[in-house]
Amino acid sequence: MLTNKGTESDIVLIGAGIMSATLGLLLKELNSNATIEIFERLDSAANESSDAMNNAGTGHAAFCELNYTPEKNGVIDTTKALDICEQFEESRQFWSYLVKKNIIQSPKSFVNSVPHMSFVWGDKNIDFLKKRHQALKNQPLFSNMLYSEDKATIQNWAPLIMQNRNENDKVAATYMDLGTDVNFGELTRKMINHQVNQNGVNVTFDTEVYDLKKTTDGKWNVYVKNIKTGEKRVVKTKFVFIGAGGASILLLKKSGIPEGNSYGGFPVSGQWLVCEDENLAAQHFAKVYGLASVGAPPMSVPHLDTRFVNGKKSLLFGPYAGFSTKFLKTGSYWDLFSSISTGNIGTMVGAGLDNMALTKYLISEVLASPDKKMASLKEYFPNANPKDWRLEIAGQRVQTMKRNSEGKPELAFGTEVVSAADGSLAVLLGASPGASTTVTIMLKLIEKCFVNDFKSAEWQAKFKEMIPSFGLKLNDHPELLKELRAETSKTLELKY
């Protein structure tokens, strides 16, 4: 039975992860009178994709992620790396703004300086990394990047990866001291906690959105249920954002917007090896990324990371990909089957047939023994001892399947926003780089869904206040880049 049928709100945000937390803060800063409802099915914020152990926390800036610089006909394409780096700079500026305004406190609790490295071995991979460095080093965003094939230098950068390595192995690495480790779970909770205390914002936990319908006046009825009591109610709103992690695809289908008809999702689960030995953690201070296996999704690029979680330094290696029909760690095994419809089954089958390498890769990962997992770690840390590492379940990701501009089914890597033609509803799909580029993603969403307000002088001025480089490419303005990096480093208490 429905209660409180008359409840209305300007904005409804579904999911209390980094996406909704960022969008809610942005919209409230832009319009202090806006009323916002945030619904989360779990008992606290950031317990799914944004949680520290569900998210790599790299602070993706494209400094070390080799899949962002593909080689095409012998030429390194830097387009995606430059774009992602620009986006991460916007995130840094927005977080700095929040700290300056005392909206969030204690920046070291969610962001810390940790160098970013790329590490490869073998002639072919070394040649690729060298060409990548040559392509990036003259770009202002990457001008700090160092390259070396000298084993002593690499050992100085990251001692563990060189200990007991075969002296005949050829290796190479790049090094960026501007890298960061970000605890997106802690950052999200700080954002949500601030909004809980704002007038006009209600954050409701243990509450699931089970349906949503467009009304004749162009608004949305959002149907919610308290998981603990079973009480149901409906909230009427002018705008809905679905930021429910992997489950977003299910709510996209329920919305019925034609823009989402052909979209499907393929779940990819993951695991980490975690080491909390203080002695080992003290010997490694970097995020070291390698090359993905053939057929592996971008989110499965292997990396050996320094992590700061709840003030404690640890090491993390992975991810090891896997398969589950759940769209969330706390989801249902029926999620994948529930997402299939007449509108998307052709897309899903077509994309699956075109990506058999991914299927084979996932099967091999699911069947991988503990010894095989350790063998993968030893490629990056030859002296690794199984006794020092424990297995941790990582976050659930849903790989987006869609039709491209030519109508052909494909897997869409990265993060994507699907929105209704009238801008009344938007849905976030996809995965990495996700959290690291949330601010830019939400700015683009606001531009698309709040068209008139976005163009107004008042909102444009506020955007510039929150993100000083708004509307500019920092790579084209090296002096401004230098100034803003210095300013945000100081505010966020980073080394560089």
Domain harbouring 153, CATH code: 3.50.50.60
Q: What's the CA gap between 154 and 152, in Å, rounded? A: 5
Place of tokens 């206040």: 465
- Domain membership of residue 495 (yes or no) is no
- Compute the C-alpha angle 190/191/192, nearest 5°: 95
DSSP one-letter string for 389-445: -EEEE---EEEEEEE-TTS-EEEE-SEEEEE-TTSSEEEEEE-TTGGGGHHHHHHHH
- Which segment, 1-10, 300-309, 346-355, is predicted with the most confidence on average? 300-309
Give the position of tokens 């987006």.
400
C-alpha atoms less than 13 angstroms from C-alpha of 455 in its C-beta half-sphere: 4
As given in the structure block, the two tokens for residue 435 are: 């959290």
As beta bridge partners, residue 307 has 314
> Is 404 within a domain?
yes
pTM of the model as a whole:
0.93
Judge whether 391 lies within some domain. yes
Q: What is the number of alpha carbons within 13 Å of residue 383 lying toward its C-beta?
A: 10
Separation CA 87–CA 147 (nearest Å)? 24
Spatial separation of the C-alpha atoms in residues 173 and 159, rounded to whole Å = 13
pLDDT of residue 404: 85
Report pLDDT for 438.
94
How far apart, in whole angstroms, are the C-alpha atoms of residue 228 and residue 166?
57
Query: CB neighbours (10 Å) of residue 197?
Result: 8
* Residue 333 maps to a domain: yes
Q: Is 306 within a domain?
A: yes
Angle at alpha carbon of residue 484, lines to 480 and 489, rounded to 5° = 155
**Kind of pairing, strands 303-309 and 312-322?**
antiparallel
Number of domains the chain contains: 1
Closest CA to 339 of 261, 446, 259, 242: 261
The answer to whether residue 496 sits within a structural domain is no
Residue 94 lies in a domain: yes
Top pLDDT among 412 and 128 is at: 128
- Using one digit for the tens of pLDDT, what is the confidence trace for 115-171? 999 999 999 999 999 999 999 999 999 999 999 999 999 999 999 999 999 988 999
- Cβ-in-10-Å burial (0-12, 13-18, 19+) of 64 comes to buried
Indicate if the pLDDT at residue 338 is higher than 60.
yes
- Which structural domain range is residue 226 located in? 2-488
Round to whole Å and give the CA distance between 230 and 208.
10
Nearest CA to 249 out of 224, 227, 267 is that of: 267
**What is the CA 194 to chain-centroid distance, rounded?**
22
- The pLDDT tens digits for 219-276 are 999 999 999 999 999 999 999 999 998 899 999 999 999 999 899 888 888 889 999 9
Q: What are the tokens at 36?
A: 């916002």
- Cα distances (angstroms) measured from residue 167 to each of 4, 39, 129, 181, 378: 71, 56, 20, 31, 15
Instruction: Give how far Cα 248 sits from Cα of 186, 260, 337, 487, Å.
Output: 22, 11, 14, 36
pLDDT tens digits, 379-401: 999 999 999 999 988 888 888 88
Q: Is the pLDDT reported for residue 356 higher than 80?
A: no
Residue 494 lies in a domain: no
Report the mean per-residue pLDDT for the chain: 91
**Chain centre distance of CA 322:** 18
Instruction: Evaluate if residue 21 carries a pLDDT over 80.
Output: yes
Q: What is the pLDDT of residue 78?
A: 97
Contact 81, 140 (CB under 8 A): no
pLDDT in tens, 73-92: 999 999 999 999 999 999 99
- What lies within 8 Å, CB to CB, of 425 at 6+ separation is 212, 220, 239, 240, 241, 242, 255, 257, 419
C-beta separation of 436 from 60 below 8 A? yes
Provide CB contacts within 8 A for 430, sequence distance 6+.
398, 399, 400, 412, 413, 414, 415, 416
Q: What is the reported pLDDT for 27?
A: 97
- pLDDT, one tens digit per residue, over 160-215 is 999 999 988 999 999 999 999 999 999 999 999 999 988 999 999 999 999 999 99
